[in-house]
Amino acid sequence: MEFPRIIISSDRSDSGKTLFSSALMRLLSKKLKVRGFKAGPDFIDPKYHKIASGVPSINLDLWMMGEQGVIRSLSKYGKGYDLGIIEGVMGLYDGIDIEYSTYKLSLVTKTPIILLINCSNVSSTVGAIIKGLKEYGNANVKGVVFNQIRSESHYNYCRNSVKDVPVLGYVKFDEKFVIPSRHLGLYTTEDYKEAEETIKRAAESIEKTVDIGKILEIAHTASLLPDEDLERGKNENERNKIAAIAYDSAFNFYYEENIDLLRKKYEIRLFSPLMNETVENADLIYIGGGYPELHLPDLEKSHKTIGWIRKEAENGKSILAECGGLMYLSKEIIDERSYKMANLFDISIKAKDKLTIGYTELEIIKDNLLGSKGQIIRGHEFHVSRVIDVGKDIEFSMQNKLGKGIWDRKDGVTVYNVLASYSHFHFSSTTRLLSFNF
């Protein structure tokens, strides 16, 4: 399958990859069908891609999905599109020993790389940076764009220092070309209402300063992909069940492909704990991560939602809660004071502590929604909260081989048919929840 595509990478985080990738998607979407992708375990950046291109962005994570899983998803979601733009994660070689990096993703998917280098505090030295990035792993770097260029002379210094990689242009310095950040990364699009205007303004700017034609030429050098059917495994006869998914400013960390996989078996209905909503006749309740720590007074008052969740749990309904969802199902979240939550688990959580971020690998030690005893599953952790007390009757269903987990390197607390974890998961590698093979 022919699917022209590029990877946008850099030497580090905070280089402007998300805004540049989104601006490029917005600009090219005027004439082409563009699909955005995000390398690694990121929930926030794909939201900006969706605003830019008008279609959901898909994560490609080698750790959770494996090489074949990544290739399958790239092919599946690239089908019918003219161009794919893959935003890299952190710096080009960052991951677990390079093995799960943007560089490795480029090798696995045979996708050319365009570097975006933040030149706010550098000029001629960028030539050395680019040379090092390209030669360190013999990376497939086909072009470079400079970010935060303040003047024509600044651009010329940067451009003249680069010897072996085509310079494709620059993004001028503009105080408005910034997406604000907070403790878990960029503001989510649910909370940053200026996202659309910022992307639009950046797209208008790069149209004048970046060689878009050359970028398209580079994209067409990407290798062919296997032909993957997006509808594979779909069974309309099974879609008589309902999956209730929490979605609002407190809970919005979900992989688009996870939702698509659920759609193959469930009718999706969204509910907002912040709005005290429920879903009738739900067979599965899924509460993802997000920012519950920013909405504690409202979550404490969501008595109708809490009562519904507790009743459904006691009736044996399947409930999966990840990270922020775990916090919501705990006894209390402590910030300035203690905020009472659903109390399905006798767990006390401090709202804001040190950042925990990284991949996890877990051995299932007790059958749960995601697998059977003895299985190994992979995920990732991404939170600033910390469990400070666990009741004596708490049962864990997973042992961390990698990652911190909830308590004493254990994760996946269970009660009734409920599973709550600090780890986030990609459902393509956890088939038990959906009861069919992918």
Catalytic residues: 323
State which amino acid sits at residue 390.
V
Q: What's the distance, CA 236 to chain centroid?
A: 28
How many Å is the maximal CA-CA distance in the chain?
Answer: 69
Beta bridge partners of 8: 87, 114
Structure tokens that stand for 304 in this block: 């109708």
- Counting other chains too, the contacts that 388-393 makes at CB distance below 8 Å and 24 or more residues apart are 388/334, 388/348, 388/349, 388/350, 389/347, 389/348, 390/346, 390/347, 390/348, 391/331, 391/345, 391/346, 391/347, 393/346
Number of helices (H) and strands (E) in the chain: give both, helices first: 12, 25
CB count within 10 Å of CB 338 equals 13
Q: CA-to-CA distance for 100 and 177, rounded, in angstroms? A: 30
Structure tokens that stand for 226 in this block: 């296997």
Cβ partners under 8 Å of residue 173, min gap 6: 120, 148, 149, 150
Structure tokens that stand for 42 in this block: 């990121």
Q: Which residue, among 147, 206, 149, 168, has the nearest Cα to 27 in the 3D structure?
A: 206
Q: Are strands 83-87 and 241-246 parallel, antiparallel or unpaired?
A: unpaired
CA 252, 344, 348, 64: dihedral to nearest 10 degrees?
A: -40
Decide: residue 240, CB within 10 A, 0-12 exposed, 13-18 middle, 19+ buried: exposed
Beta bridge partners of 435: none
Beta bridge partners of 256: none
